[in-house]
Amino acid sequence: MTAGLHPLERTRRRLGEALFERVAGPHGPEARARVHLTEGPRWFPPGSAIRSVHGDASAWVGGLRALLLQSLHPLAMAGVAGHSGYRGDPWGRLARTSTFLAFTTFGAADDAQAAVDRVRAAHAHVRGKTSDGRPYRASDPHLLTWIHIAQVDSFLAAHQRYGERRLSAAGADQYVDQSARVALALGATDVPRSTAELADFLERYRPELEATPEALDTAAFLLKEPPLPWAARQPYRLIASGAVALLPNWARAELKLGGPVNHAVGPLAGAIATKGVRWGMGGARERRERGFAEH
């Protein structure tokens, strides 16, 4: 209820609910209640690095950066393009991803495992060939590792640039190590356990990466044609600018994003966007109640 509140507070609460609804989807409230109210052990304890990173507003920027970076692997991109695509159901994909992160990061252990089992079952049906004839499987451990390291690197980069409280070097290593548990549960077999190993893994994959037509189309859709009402597009552009600014130079070049990116404006836009999301989602207790864990 917002009646009787100061107009600015009403605006903030409405923004917070709109943000949560957009990210979590129509079943967000039910998932949120199950994540936070179900009793039992968790995969990761309160105060752990993975909870800090995934519970911070900077994850909005990190998530968009991850999608752009992941698209540069032709086999991974072919799987997305061939079986759903970003254009087909963008908000459904976002809701499923955010719900998966919520359950595995904050939920009860049994619910976290159930979320993993659902993803593995879905992956079993995603297979095919690229336009040049190369076979792919979503369950391929090599591809799972790529998706994992692109996501971990993106969330960590966004948190360290825009997060409310940056992680120490030890905390960043803990984040990479804790994230590995989820990747291994999904079927990856060789994943980094520290930031140094993460950098090494990213370099190993470089020869396999290129911007296919599908990747360029995905970047155009995510950055220039988001399925949003006009009033929401300018705030989204701030998030997008912050995400692009955090991409490695070689990734921006592959995706043809180097020209419009101003290295001074991009990080500033990301910082403004993150602060706006944080303001809308409220304090730590309110963020937890809306799906963001208390740090």
Does residue 109 lie in a domain region? yes
Q: According to the model, what pLDDT value does residue 293 have?
A: 43
Give the residue-averaged pLDDT of 42-55. Answer: 95
Q: Which two tokens stand for residue 19?
A: 């943000």
Does residue 276 lie in a domain region? no
Percent helix / strand / coil, the chain, rounded to 5: 70, 5, 30
Cα gap 53→105, rounded to integer Å: 10
Q: According to the model, what pLDDT value does residue 178 have?
A: 98
Q: According to the model, what pLDDT value does residue 43 have?
A: 97
Q: Which residue has the higher pLDDT, 8 or 120?
A: 120
H or E element, residue 220: helix 213-224
Reported confidence tier of residue 288, pLDDT bands at 50, 70, 90: very low
Cα gap 220→38, rounded to integer Å: 40
Is 90 exceeded by the pLDDT of residue 285? Answer: no
Q: According to the model, what pLDDT value does residue 287 have?
A: 46
Give the residue-averaged pLDDT of 147-154. Answer: 97
Q: How far apart are the first and last CA of the chain?
A: 26
Q: According to the model, what pLDDT value does residue 235 have?
A: 74
Across 11-158, where does the E strand assignment appear? Answer: 127-129, 135-137
Give the residue-averaged pLDDT of 267-287. Answer: 60
Q: Which residue has the tokens 């836009």?
A: 269
The pairing of beta strand 127-129 with beta strand 135-137: antiparallel
Range of the domain at 169: 24-35+49-222+281-289
H or E element, residue 62: helix 59-70
Give the residue-averaged pLDDT of 209-213. Answer: 94
Give the residue-averaged pLDDT of 45-74. Answer: 93
Q: Could you give the residue ranges of the DSSP H alpha helices within 169-210? A: 169-186, 195-205
Does residue 81 lie in a domain region? yes
Closest of 293, 271, 270, 272 to residue 281, by C-alpha: 293
The pTM assigned to this predicted structure is 0.84
Q: Which two tokens stand for residue 75?
A: 């086999």
Does residue 230 lie in a domain region? no
Q: Which residue has the higher pLDDT, 169 or 129?
A: 169
- Calculate what percentage of the chain has a pLDDT beyond 70: 71
Reported confidence tier of residue 18, pLDDT bands at 50, 70, 90: low
Is 90 exceeded by the pLDDT of residue 229? Answer: no
**Domains in the chain: how many in total?**
1
Q: According to the model, what pLDDT value does residue 224 have?
A: 83
Across the chain, where does the E strand assignment appear? Answer: 127-129, 135-137
Does residue 1 lie in a domain region? no
Give the residue-averaged pLDDT of 253-266. Answer: 70
Give the residue-averaged pLDDT of 192-220. Answer: 95
Is 70 exceeded by the pLDDT of residue 276? Answer: no
Does residue 294 lie in a domain region? no
Does residue 117 lie in a domain region? yes
Cα gap 31→163, rounded to integer Å: 25
- Calculate what percentage of the chain has a pLDDT beyond 90: 51
Cα gap 176→201, rounded to integer Å: 12
Does residue 134 lie in a domain region? yes
Q: According to the model, what pLDDT value does residue 88 have?
A: 63
